[in-house]
Amino acid sequence: MINSEKFDYLIVGAGFAGSTLAERLANGLNKKVLVVEKRDHIGGNCFDRYNADGILVKPYGPHIFHTKIKEVWDYLNRFTAFNRYLHRVIANVKGKEYYFPINLNTMEKLTGRTFTPETMRAYFEEKRVRDVEIKNSRDVVVSQVGEEIYELFVKHFTKKQWGIYPEELDASVLQRIPVRYDRDTRYFDDPWQGIPVDGYHKLFENMLSSPNIHLLLRTDYKEIMDDVEFDRLIYTGPIDYYFDYAYGKLPYRSIRFQFETLAMERFQSAAVVNYTLDKEYTRITEFKHFYFQEHPATAVCYEYPCDEGEPYYPIPREANRGIYEKYKAAADKLKNTYFVGRLAEYKYLNMDQAVKHALELFKRL
């Protein structure tokens, strides 16, 4: 029984931040750690599993690991090998498919012209909106590539994704529209990329395998706080929930996922196809591209962004940042309590960033 044990650390959340800290504290410092997770599985939104048809899928949408941080790459390779998947995204615009990020191939197909890196730069220099004061995400995009690219690839897709148009979003969201002046079709240019060869769930199982780690699933940490003895708390959940929404609820964008298994080996030309103008969904993901799985059928997922549901994307607006700063000030006053991760920091973090922040906190501890 957990209430008969004394733990050095209680960690709330078994995603990348929480699992990294649990592993490091248990194996690096020989600490006794209790990990409390409200869901019925480890791995947070990166969790994957086999569906009823035997196809490996991701219930919370695609997660492609990529990083420029060698420390993070070396650390995670202790617990898994990564396959050689390189992410390529297709943008479906008015029924035609284009590579995204925008590159020479994209622009040639879009305009019917031949481009070199130099002529493509000149094209955007001619099209971009000059002398615009950068106040929001729309200003960022049109100042770099002009109105046409903004309308076709960004404006309406962003409205579906965030529920508001780019002119209502902080400039940081679209700080730099991804453009490549070559024919590189990869979505990421990081030196280390891939998917865990045995899936993300196995990666997290390996991270949390220490006998010093006790895992408690399907549990809200607030329900057991009075029953557990521990010295320090590491919190990776929503920071506003920790403080019982004292300064108001921080808004998030959520996603509704619709899964289908189809009687065909392949459904689309890439793992992810974005629908920038039409359709209610933002993208379709086909999971077999990630795992190189051989199966006579295939599984796809349609994503419908929404306001209610699991918190996925912190909404970067000035008013929301002001609310978060109040929570952060309250958190900074607490002793032996540490906040780390996407929800606790109210910041969209890539997986490698979440691991990096966790390793930095471990070093301080």
**pLDDT tens digits, one per residue of 245-256:** 999 999 999 999
**Sequence-separated (6 or more) residues with CB below 8 Å from residue 231:** 7, 8, 9, 336
Q: Select from 204, 195, 183 the least CA-distant residue to 87.
A: 195
Please say whether the beta carbons of 312 and 62 come within 8 A.
no
Which residues, other chains included, contact 279 with Cβ-Cβ below 8 Å and sequence gap of 6+?
A: none
**Distance of CA 236 to CAs 144, 247, 326, Å?**
36, 19, 17
Helix (H) or strand (E) holding 284: strand 283-286
Contacts of 293 (CB under 8 A, 6+ apart): 55, 56, 287
5, 68, 171, 187 from 86: Cα distances, Å = 45, 14, 28, 8
Of 5 and 58, the structure prediction assigns the larger pLDDT to 58
Peptide bond into 296 cis (omega under 30): no
Structure tokens at 47: 């969790």
Question: For a pLDDT cut of 70, what percent of the chain falls above it?
Answer: 99
Q: Which residues pair with 10 in a beta bridge?
A: 34, 233
Question: What is the pLDDT averaged over residues 204-222?
Answer: 98
| pLDDT higher than threshold 70 for residue 149 | yes
Predicted confidence (pLDDT) at residue 3 exceeds the cutoff of 70:
no
Per-residue pLDDT tens over the stretch 17-47: 999 999 999 999 999 999 999 999 999 999 9
Per-residue pLDDT of 174-187, as tens digits, reads 876 789 999 999 99
pLDDT at 1: 47
pLDDT digits (tens, 9 = 90+) for 255-308: 999 999 999 999 999 999 999 998 999 999 999 999 999 999 999 999 999 999
- Domain 2-85+192-251+314-364 bears CATH identifier 3.40.630.30: no
Tens digit of each residue's pLDDT (9 = 90 or more) over 99-137: 999 999 999 999 999 999 999 999 999 999 998 899 999
**Of 77, 59, 299, whose CA–CA distance to 197 is shortest?**
77
- The overall average pLDDT reported for the chain is 95
Q: Which of 273, 256, 271, 311 is CA-nearest to residue 56?
A: 271
Domain assignments of the chain as residue spans, ordered by start:
2-85+192-251+314-364, 102-174
For 139, half-sphere exposure in the C-beta direction (CA atoms, 13 angstrom radius) is 12
User: How many Cα atoms sit within 13 Å of 131 on the Cβ side?
Assistant: 0
User: What pLDDT, on the 0 to 100 scale, is given for residue 172?
Assistant: 82
Sorted by sequence, the CB contacts under 8 Å of residue 189 that are 6+ apart come out as none
pLDDT tens digits along 313-364: 898 888 899 999 999 999 999 999 999 999 999 998 999 999 999 999 999 9
Output the pLDDT for position 176. 67
Global pTM?
A: 0.93
Closest by Cα among 159, 143, 342 to 250? 342
Which residue blocks in 196-342 are alpha helix, DSSP H?
200-207, 239-242, 288-291, 318-332
